[in-house]
Every structure is written in C-alpha cells, then in structure tokens.
Structure 1
Amino acid sequence: MRFQSILAPRRGRLAALLSCVVLAVGPAALPAHAQGAGDELITQMKQAFSRGDKARLAALLPQATGHPLEPWAAYWELKSRLKEAGSAEVQAFLARWAGSYQEDRLRNDWLLLLGERRLWDEFAQLHPAFRMNDDREVQCYAVLVDALRTGQVLPERAAVVRNNWHAQRDLDDGCLTAAERLIASRALREQDAWIKARLAMEANRPGAARAAVNLVAPDALPAFDQVNASPTKFLLGSASAASKARKETVVLALIRMAVADPEAAARQLDSKWGPMLSAEERNWVWGVIGKQAAGKLSPLAGRYFANVTKDADLNDDMLGWKVRAALRTGQWKEVSAACDAMSAEAKQEPTWVYWKARALTQQGGERRREEARALLQGIAGTRGFYEMLALEDLGQRAQTATPPAPLTAEEKAAARANPALQRGLYAISMGLRSEGVREWNYGIALHEPGGMDDRALLAAADLACQREVWDRCINTSERTKGVIHAEQRFPMPFHDAVIAKSRAIGLDPAYVYGLIRQESRFIMDARSHVGASGLMQVMPATARWTANKIGLSGFTPSQINDRDTNITIGTAYLKLALDDFDGSMPLAAAAYNAGPGRPRAWRNGPVMDAAIWAENVPFAETRDYVKKVLTNTTNYAALITGQPQSLRERLGNVGPRSAAEPEPNKDLP
C-alpha cells in the first residue's frame, strides 16, 4: 500500500471547473483557448515524448498553438531533439516562453549539454538566468566555469562541489569534472575523492567509486576491481596496507563486506586490518559497520560504535544510526555525544534537536534540564512528529491553531491570475499529474522574487482546495512559516463515508484520515508503481484477501477505485492489522506500509517508548510513514473533537508479543 508521488488525476468536474476558470481569467493568465479543445492532442504529444518519437512531436506541435499547455508541447518537441538543436533555436524558445517553468527547465537541460560539450563561454552567459538552480550537476559546472575564468575558487564554492559530488548517487560528468579540477588546484583534498569512493561503495555504486579512485590513484584501479569482484578474496589475499592508496582500497573492501555482513567485516577489522589503518580510516569503517548493524537492529551495533575513537570522523548518516542504536539500549550519554558531533545543518533538524534534549533530561542536573527545555522550546509545535513530542514534553498538548484572517477577494484573484498555477491545475485535470505538479510548485516557489509569502501561499492553497486538488492544497499550505491553516493542511474530503465506515468497525476516524492523507493525499484514482490503488492505496491481492475475510461478496479487483469500496476494504484491513498488533497504532501503520511480517520482526527486543521504536525502523520510507501517520492522526483528532490531543498516548510502548497471546490474524498479508 505504498504511496508514490506520480498519481493518476481526477477528471470530470475538475476539468469543467478549470475550463471556466481559464475563460474567466483570460489572456493575463493563460491563452483564452478552448474549453478542453485540443486536450487529446496534448496527451498524444506527451505519449510521443515518452516514446522519443521526434517526428510525431514535430508534426503535432503546430496544432497546439493557443492551447493552455502549449508551453509543454513546445518543451517536449525541442527537448526530444535538443542534442541536434542550435543555440539560436534554444534562445528563441527561452525568449518565447520567458518567465515560465518550461523556459527555466529547458535552460537547465541546455546548460547540462553545454557543460558536457565544454562550451564554457555560452554556459557562463546562460547560467546567471537559471532561476530554479536545483540541479547539482549544473551547480558543479558553474563552479568549474568560475574557476576556469578567474583561476581561483573560494572555499564556499569548493564546498558546493564537494557536497554535491558526495550527495550524487550515480556517476555524473559535472561534479566529477569539477572535482578533478579542484583537486588538481588543491581547492579540494585528495581525501575528498576517497570519501566519495567510500560513500559510493556503500551505496553499491561501484562505477562512481571507481571514477573517484581514478582521480587520485589510477594505479589502484586493478586492486579496486578485485575488491568490487570479491572483497573477501581481496582481503584474504592481501598481506599489508603500506601506502595510502592500499589502505583506502582495504577500507573500500571492508565497507563492501560490511554492507552484506557487518559481523564478518568487524572480525576482519579486529583480527587483521585495524592496526594497519589510520585512526580516521578505522573510525569510518567502524561507523559503517555500526550503521549496517543498527539497520538490522543488531544488539552488536552499540559495541561496534564504541570502537569509534572520534565521532567527528563519522558523517551525519552514521551518527544518526549511532543515536538510534544508543536509544534502543538507553545509552543517553552516547546519544548526546553523537548529536554534538553532527554537522551544523543536522543539529538544526527537529529529530536530533529532540533526542539531544531528551538525552540531556535523562542525564539529570539543573543546567542540563534548562538546556533541554530551551531546545524543546525551539522546535515545539504541531508541524511534525518531533515538534509535537517537544510540545508534550513541555507540558502542553496539540490543538488546532487559530485560523488566519480570511483571504481577501484580491488575494484570491491574484492566485487565480497566476499562469503557472492555472497551467498546473489544467495539466492535472487532463491526467498530466507529473507536469501539473512541477508547474504548480514552480508557480508557488518562483513566480515572485523569493517565492510567495504566507498570504499568497494560503490563497494558492485555497485555489487548489476549491478545485479539490487535495495534494496541492495540502503541500502548498504546509509551506507557510508564520501561520497554520489547519483545515487546509488537514482537509476531510468524503467526510460522511470515512466517519461512517471507521466508526462502524471501531476505528478512530482521525487515524483513518491520518493514514489516507499520507497514502494518497485524497486523490481518488491514485495508483502506485507497485499497483496499489485508490484513496487507501490497496494492493489487489490484499483487497481480495480482505474482501474474503470480511465477507464482501461479489468483489472484483476493478472495484478497488470505487470510493466506498476502497474505504471499506482499506479500513477493514487497517482494523485487522490493529487487532493483530494489540491496538498499537505505530505497529499497524508500519504493517500497512511495509506488510505485517517486517514489524512483527522489528518489535522483537526490549519494550521501549514507541518514539524510539519508530526512529529505529530500518526502512527510511516506513520510518517516515509511521511518524507522519501518527502526527496526522493527532492533528485530525484535534480538528474533529475540538479538544487538545496527545501524540504520546497514541504511540504508547512497543515490545515483543507475549508467547501466551494468540495472533488473531496470522495470515494477514
């Protein structure tokens, strides 16, 4: 029942409403073209673009003139043949669609080609106008161009290349080329290349790792290839690690081994390789071993992390897992130390702010308690999981925020007049959800210098809410910083059906709404890449099993997208999962997302605060899902009841099932 971002749209009423809006707004927002006329043409062009059919796109493009989505048609046609296009044609496109999402996206595409072709002068001319600036590879090219033109690189610009290069999972030309230049000029260290290789090896990206090694130690490539083929064979066949390159190759072998078998890597490091490596190299490998063990919920994780002599040698990802492992065993000093060693950016994240505060409180002392209270006050609120826990730790409960002042007619009119928002809604109404979402997000982020202010965001969210495009309504309203519009952020479409179905089987409607909001954002015909469908993202096999379990006669998979049937089956499955996990909302939510088998295994071990359990969920998607569903639930409960609500009470504790307790639904799929 996984939620995916690319979802099928609603049709019918929404398309009709949008046609009226387009006509009402007129040329200031969109071409005053047609009430849906030509939509099939645009759909055909998207299909041709997906197939790479350049001839079909060229033939259809003239017919798209005047259509509200003509900028998309023009973008697809030129993008499909961009490698054969010339600078004059690209410049003409940029001028024709100036200020639009399509203009800036094509600029991004062209900058990448200019970088690959080493056309630095044209890149330098075009890059300053790139508004989104959201492409890491382009950012790396930009630093490289500056270095070539000025002969120097400021430390903060070198950091852009290093951070982007390390963050890129796959091999790319821009950051690799920039890194090569900056290493040669000593603006980056050779060690930055070895760290890139380590990160890539752990992420199972051997091509990217090999390219990084080639920058600083091409003679080590034969040994690297041996490591990639069999780290065990390489380590057993090697006697020493005298040179820097040899040591780093051993590090890469131990990392590759640790991903598959952290205990085997720990034995190798303990018995043979530890004394041959530098302290930093040993610490990094122990960090990877500890992280991999913690991700498997191994009780050995803490022991592995204890071998790290300097937390500052670990990256934020390893330190996060060190915190998680320490939380499971109640090692609050280790939690505090790991949080302290994180980067300045990570220290600002509510997750680590909260656990640092909890660690200080657990260690006792008036000074620590005062520091903890200040940390909690800095994040407390209802915007997220840890913000809400911080609020409760300060003695308050979550309640619905005071609504902002009503939108004025002028504010609403400004949202309706925004061409990017209108094109986004139009695209979504046609079934082009991916394009519509990108267009919409551009409209709220870059339509005005610095992005929209809170009032403009509320007006844009209101526009989406009125059109029942609930995902844009929610996501846009969530961007406000100074105000919270709870009814926009937590809408309750299909109110009567959800409330009735939930209460009929003894489910908290707030829990159901919290889950639907996370699963589908209330998009009726949402469909994930794995085949989950509808509001509650039900898999076909799960739907059949649940229908049979509850005696829903005559059920066929084609009924999954029927609203009432989807809610009936989804709520029934959620109730069965909740019963199977003794009423634990966190465990049932994890089962809904990842299947029941995994949380049955994840609950084994000591009884613990469910917040600690949730933070230790091995899958990042499910970890995020559980926290968001429970936060949503608490906010919905405050809206539905009008009373302050407790997230902590909904979390409870998590521990293994008692051997004396029967499993009510052993066959739960």
Structure 2
Amino acid sequence: MHWHKILTPLLAATVLTTAAPLAAAQNRGDDALLAMQQAYRKGDRNQLAQLLPSVRGHALEPWAAYWELRVRLDNAQPDEVQAFLTRWAGTYQEDRLRNDWLLLLGQRRDWAQFAQLHPAYRMQDDRAVRCYALTIAQIEGRASAAQAQEVRDLWYAQRDGDDACTNAAASYYAAKQLSAGEIWRKARLGADANRQRAVRDAVQLVAPESLPQVNELFASPIKFLTGARVARGQVRQELGLLALIRLAANDPAQAASQLEGRWSGVLTAEERNWAWAAIGKQAAFKLQPEAQTYFANVRKDEDLNDELLGWKVRTALRAGQWRQVVRAIDAMTPQGQTDSTWVYWRGRALLAPHGGDAERAQARQLLESIAGSGGFYEQLALEELGRRVTVPPAPAPVTAQEKAAARANPGLQRGLQAIQLGLRSEGVREWNYATNLHTPGGMDERALLAAAELACEREVWDRCINTSERTRTEVNWSQRYPMPFHDTVIARARIIGLDPAYVYGLIRQESRFIMDARSGVGASGLMQVMPATARWTARKIGMSDFTPSMINDREVNITIGTAYLKLALDDFDGSMALAAAGYNAGPGRPRSWRNGPVLDAAIWAENVPFTETRDYVKKVLANTTAYAALITGQPQSLKARLGTVGPRPTNEPEPMKDLP
C-alpha cells in the first residue's frame, strides 16, 4: 500500500491548519501596528496601551513599545526608561528613546542623569543633545576653546530658536568664551532668514533692554531706520544693521539708500561690509544687475560669512568677473573652500583668459581633486580636464556570504518589513541606522553593497540608491542608477520624442522610484505630478477618461509626467535646465529667471534663487548624464546637455501661457 499517497494530503492539511492561525495572527499584528502608528501620531495614550499586547512577538514590536512609551515620556520614571533601554538593547528604538530622554533631561537641567546616560548614545546626530553635552562641559569648568567654537557653529546652524543651543550659547557667553560680536552675528543670521524668535533669543543675551526695538524693526524696518536716533554704540549699530538686513529683503535699493545716507557714518567698517553684502544677496535673489555694485562696496571679504560670500561669487559669475570669483572664494572658511561647488568655480576662474601657467596648473589640481562621474560639479570638472562621463568599472559581485549577512541583519529585516507594511518613515530610519558606520555592526563598503542589493531585490529603490551612494571605492552604478519600469519609460519617452535618460534622471530626483510617494504640497507618484497639472496635461494629450485617482497608477503617472515634461521642454526651447526648473518650481519662475545676459547654463543654474530648485536642477542634469552613459554605453557630456540660457528670442512664438 502506498502510505505516502495517503499521508501527503494529511500532512498538507495539518500544515495548512497550523499555518492559518499563524498567518491570521501575523495579519492581526500588522493591523495593530498600523493602528498604533496612527494613535501615536494623534498622541492617543489609551489606544497605544490597549493595542500593545496585540503585537507581542511581532518582528516590529520594538516600534510598538517605543510609541507606547514615547507618547508618555514626560511622565515616565527613570527606571521605566532604563527597563526599555535594557529590553531593546542594540536596536534603533533603544537609541532613539535614549535621544528623546536626553533631550528631556536637558530641558529639565538634570545634568547628573544626562551625563550618566550620554556616553551610551550611539547616533550622536542630534544637534540639541550635543549642545546640552557642551553645556555640561562648561558648567564643570572643562570647556575648551574648540568646544566654544563648536557651540557657536551649532547655534548658528540652528534655524529656529531652541532651548539647547541657545542655553549653551548663554552659558559660554556668561563665561566670556563667546563674545558679544559672535552673539550679534547670530542675530544677523536670524534677521536674514526672517526668524524673529532667533533674533530675540540672541538679543536677550547681550541687550535684553532692546527687545522692544527688535519688535519695531521687524514690524517696519524703514520706520525704524528713519525714526531711530542715530548714535554710535554697539547695540544701536547692530540694531540698525538688523533693520537694514530686513529692509533689503523687500527693497534692496531702499536699504542701499539708507546705508549710503544717515547710517553710513555710524556703522563700523565690518558692519558696513556685512550690510552691503546682505543687500547684494537680496538683489542677487531678484537677479538685479545692481547686485554687483552692492557687492563692490564690500571692502573686506573676510568680514563676511560663507553664505554671503557664496552669493558674491554667484553675482561675479553672472557678470564674468573671474578675479572677483577667486577673491571671494579665497575669503571663505576652509570648510567652505572644500565644497565641490567652490572648488569647481575657483578652478574655472583660474582657467579664465589672462591666467598664467601657474594659475592653470593650480586650476588643474583643483579640478582633479573633485573630478568624477557622479555629481554635477564632479562631472563638469571631469569635462574641463578633457574627459567625458563614463560608467565606472563594476565592483566584484556581492558574494553569497555577503548576501546572507545582509539578509540576516535584524535592522535591515525590520526596516524592509516596516516599509513593505506601510510604515515607510519608520522603516527608512531603521534601515539607515542599521547601515550607519557609527553604530554597532556598522557596515563597510562591501556590506553596504550587499545591503543595497537586498533593497534592490525587494524593489525598495530609495534605500538601494541611498545605501549604494555611501560607498567611495566600491561604486556600483546599477544600484545607484536603477531603471525600474524600463520598458514603459523607454517606450513612452521615445514615442513623444523625449530622452529616456532625462526621464529617469528626473524620476530619480523626484521620487527615488517610490510608487506611492506624496509630497507635502500634494504631488503624487513616480513623477510627482500635482493634481491640477495632471488634469491639464490629460486634457492636452486627449486623455478624456482621466480621473484624479488615476494619477497613482504607474502607467498613467508615467504617461502624464512625461507628456508634461515634453511640453515644458518644448516651451523652454529644448533647455533641459530650464525645463527641470519649471518642473520643480512652476514655469513662471524660470521664465523670469532666464531674463538677463546669455549665460553658460551652469552659471545660470548656480544663480537660481531658490535653494531647492537650484539643487534640483543640478541633480536632475547630473542624473541624466549618468543614465545616458548607462543606456547608450557611450561617453557622455553634461556640458552639451546644459548649453546656454538667456532671454527668449524675439522671433520665437509666445510661451505656452497656460502651462501650469
């Protein structure tokens, strides 16, 4: 008798009977986790406590436990926090809660507990936590000059007023380790960014009696400048400078008139230099030719910070003033000078006509230091040296052992599971923590390649790209520049006469190939199309059955996104740089930004007033060049894709006025 023929169905039934409850339990756990995420976002403590038992044993239980404790951390006891840290030792959630608890201890000025807990903090990426730690160093009398400088830099980098770094600055200022001038500089940065709270926090430290005047100068800078009693004294001068900075944001010419008039003889030379640069920056934002004149009034570039010097460089580039480019970059901090943007432009400036052999040799050295096939300025530097962008040699394939180690990594497993469950934000943070070199089990380049390959296999393209991009010597372009939905993208692009490399370059920047990506302003899908833009484009291409819900369909998103990109490209005379700017910021702005002299498109892109759009244009074009090298297998030129940008020729037809 063939017993196996009888037993096999029985065994299968037994397995199915056993597996069904397990699957059901897993599904219940998944549902509970999703509900807990929503409860956490609402701060619903009761629901979190009720749901927590439902996820016991789930792979993502650490997240559930974190949410439940984090939402009531203000009232938690130290032993309860310590129990969590012990229970989940080594996980992202342990260090995340430690970060949160350290912030709370700092706010409470519980320096003893903070000092006890801080050495175990692994991420070390929270500016506020670092400021609290530096405050303790000052309180204990062991703060160094380097730590004082670190406090200053951290405080300057903090855009909004905050307790941690403002308190640290106050502590170091009281100990005479920060000067009044350094405090006032923070106020200038706040005024430039239109952040009144940051200005008030700074003025509170050096001149608390002047806080009412801060309110006045923000309410009406011109009224303050024309009505204030002009007299010397650091407080009066600095308040006048703050008012000039605020006035320049709306009316650079009026600010310049005030500076040339009643405030000229009052401010110090350093304050005048800063004021002229602040006015020049605002004029440069508006692409006004007067920006060059304002910057020319700066008598000492070393009085400026890197941000103002960067705008002085951009203004000089628009005017073709190469010597000014070199001088402004030379005045930057060492850190600023090593930024690839300024390395490239200093090299270009030294290659300009009238340079000698020594300058040309120095230029080549600068360009060689950044030349490569990856980023925008790296690619441009490569071309200046006479080479083209090519696909770098692929590293050795990831071995079976390396793949197995990636699959066995619990942080990567939890990250992927969270992303695939719909907890994308949590999954991304878990994944990043697992791959971070500064955490236990942090990855070398081979491990990063294996992790990136795992993400690619699971089609989690953003983690694939971002993880692979962190390698320096082991460079794998098939991971960094993947081509999902290849047939759809290539076919659609070719049907409408669009370079598929340009489409891929834009999608990589827009969504990192995340199908359900949604921006803060409502753009959706792979190509991040806005609802109104989608409706307009659908009508334009005759898609009569289009409804807004269809935009998240992959095929529809690609069809509408590529159609809109082609319409924008045609409207901008085939300029990839202008069309990319229009895709990001709307077509009206680049139509205005193109007015003025005819410029090398790299100079034009560097002068885009919006930081986000400036960065976007450069990344899309660099991506495009890399994808073209992959698709064609031939060396590629970024410069050829950039071309020049200038006003629309008068003999050209009017722009498509209704292009959204």
The TM-score bracket by the shorter chain reads: over 0.9
- Indicate the residue corresponding to 2:270 in structure 1: 280
- Indicate the residue corresponding to 1:405 in structure 2: 396
SS at match of 1:659: coil
| 1:151-196 deviation per Cα after TM superposition (whole angstroms, max 9, x unaligned) | 1311111112101111111111111111111111111111111011
Q: Is 1:147 matched up with 2:144? A: no
Among 353, 360, 372, the residue aligned to 1:381: 372
Query: How does 1:404-483 map onto structure 2 within 5 Å?
Result: 404-446=395-437, 448-449=439-440, 451-483=442-474
SS at match of 1:553: coil
1:217/1:245 contact within 8 Å kept? yes
Query: How does 1:571-582 map onto structure 2 within 5 Å?
Result: 571-582=562-573
1:131/1:446 contact within 8 Å kept? no
2:437/2:444 contact within 8 Å kept? no
2:123/2:439 contact within 8 Å kept? no
Compared CA separation, residues 36 and 415, structure 1 to 2 (3 A)? farther
- Indicate the residue corresponding to 1:14 in structure 2: none
User: Looking at both structures, which has the greater relative contact order when contacts are Cα pairs under 8 Å and sequence separation is at least 6?
Assistant: 1
Q: Is 1:160 matched up with 2:147? A: no
Query: How does 1:612-627 map onto structure 2 within 5 Å?
Result: 612-627=603-618
- Indicate the residue corresponding to 1:239 in structure 2: 229
- Indicate the residue corresponding to 1:668 in structure 2: 659
> Which moved further from structure 2: 416-425 or 634-643?
416-425
- Indicate the residue corresponding to 1:4 in structure 2: none
Compared CA separation, residues 32 and 244, structure 1 to 2 (3 A)? farther
Counterparts of 1:392 and 1:541, CA distance in 2:
40
Among 238, 242, 248, the residue aligned to 1:248: 238
Counterparts of 1:487 and 1:34, CA distance in 2:
38
2:189 partner letter: L
Q: Is 1:327 matched up with 2:335? A: no
Counterparts of 1:34 and 1:358, CA distance in 2:
63
| 1:242-262 deviation per Cα after TM superposition (whole angstroms, max 9, x unaligned) | 211111111111111111211
- Indicate the residue corresponding to 1:598 in structure 2: 589
Counterparts of 1:266 and 1:336, CA distance in 2:
25
Counterparts of 2:24 and 2:427, CA distance in 1:
18
- The sequence identity of aligned pairs, in percent, is 67
1:227/1:234 contact within 8 Å kept? yes
Q: What is the Cα deviation at residue 620 of structure 1?
A: 0.7
- Indicate the residue corresponding to 1:214 in structure 2: 204
Q: What is the Cα deviation at residue 534 of structure 1?
A: 1.1
Q: Is 1:264 matched up with 2:237? A: no
Aligned length: 638
- Indicate the residue corresponding to 2:505 in structure 1: 514
Q: Is 1:300 matched up with 2:274? A: no
Among 365, 387, 393, the residue aligned to 2:384: 393
Among 487, 499, 517, the residue aligned to 1:496: 487
Q: What is the Cα deviation at residue 483 of structure 1?
A: 2.2
1:221 partner letter: L
Unaligned runs of 5+ in 1: 1-30
1:357/1:371 contact within 8 Å kept? yes
2:622 partner letter: T
| 1:192-217 deviation per Cα after TM superposition (whole angstroms, max 9, x unaligned) | 11011111111111112112111111
- Indicate the residue corresponding to 1:128 in structure 2: 119
Counterparts of 1:34 and 1:513, CA distance in 2:
41
- Indicate the residue corresponding to 1:224 in structure 2: 214
Among 291, 307, 315, the residue aligned to 1:317: 307
2:160/2:195 contact within 8 Å kept? yes
Q: Is 1:181 matched up with 2:162? A: no
- Indicate the residue corresponding to 2:54 in structure 1: 63
- Indicate the residue corresponding to 1:527 in structure 2: 518
Counterparts of 2:282 and 2:118, CA distance in 1:
41
> Which moved further from structure 2: 510-519 or 223-232?
223-232
Counterparts of 2:620 and 2:559, CA distance in 1:
19
1:457/1:480 contact within 8 Å kept? yes
| 1:31-80 deviation per Cα after TM superposition (whole angstroms, max 9, x unaligned) | 99965541110011011111111111111112221111111111111110
TM-score when normalising by structure 2: 0.95
Counterparts of 1:89 and 1:182, CA distance in 2:
34
Q: Is 1:651 matched up with 2:648? A: no
Q: What is the Cα deviation at residue 417 of structure 1?
A: 1.3
> Which moved further from structure 2: 442-451 or 455-464?
442-451
Counterparts of 1:35 and 1:485, CA distance in 2:
36
Query: How does 1:24-103 map onto structure 2 within 5 Å?
Result: 35-103=26-94
- Indicate the residue corresponding to 2:102 in structure 1: 111
Counterparts of 2:150 and 2:90, CA distance in 1:
27
Counterparts of 1:177 and 1:71, CA distance in 2:
33
Counterparts of 2:338 and 2:74, CA distance in 1:
43
SS at match of 1:175: helix
Among 593, 608, 612, the residue aligned to 2:599: 608
Runs of 4+ with >6 A deviation: 31-34
Q: What is the Cα deviation at residue 664 of structure 1?
A: 5.5
Counterparts of 2:24 and 2:349, CA distance in 1:
61
Q: What is the Cα deviation at residue 389 of structure 1?
A: 0.2
Counterparts of 1:174 and 1:283, CA distance in 2:
31
| 1:290-335 deviation per Cα after TM superposition (whole angstroms, max 9, x unaligned) | 1111111111111111111111111111111111110000000111
Q: What is the Cα deviation at residue 537 of structure 1?
A: 0.9
1:166 partner letter: Y
Q: What is the Cα deviation at residue 223 of structure 1?
A: 2.2
1:501 partner letter: R
Counterparts of 1:371 and 1:348, CA distance in 2:
14
1:516/1:522 contact within 8 Å kept? yes
Q: Looking at CA atoms only, which structure, 1 or 2, has the larger radius of gyration?
A: 2
1:266/1:286 contact within 8 Å kept? yes
Unaligned runs of 5+ in 2: 1-21
2:26/2:58 contact within 8 Å kept? no
2:581 partner letter: A
Counterparts of 2:371 and 2:413, CA distance in 1:
36
2:62 partner letter: P
Counterparts of 1:377 and 1:158, CA distance in 2:
35
Counterparts of 2:67 and 2:496, CA distance in 1:
49
Compared CA separation, residues 423 and 538, structure 1 to 2 (3 A)? same
Query: How does 1:557-596 map onto structure 2 within 5 Å?
Result: 557-596=548-587
1:64 partner letter: V
Compared CA separation, residues 458 and 351, structure 1 to 2 (3 A)? same
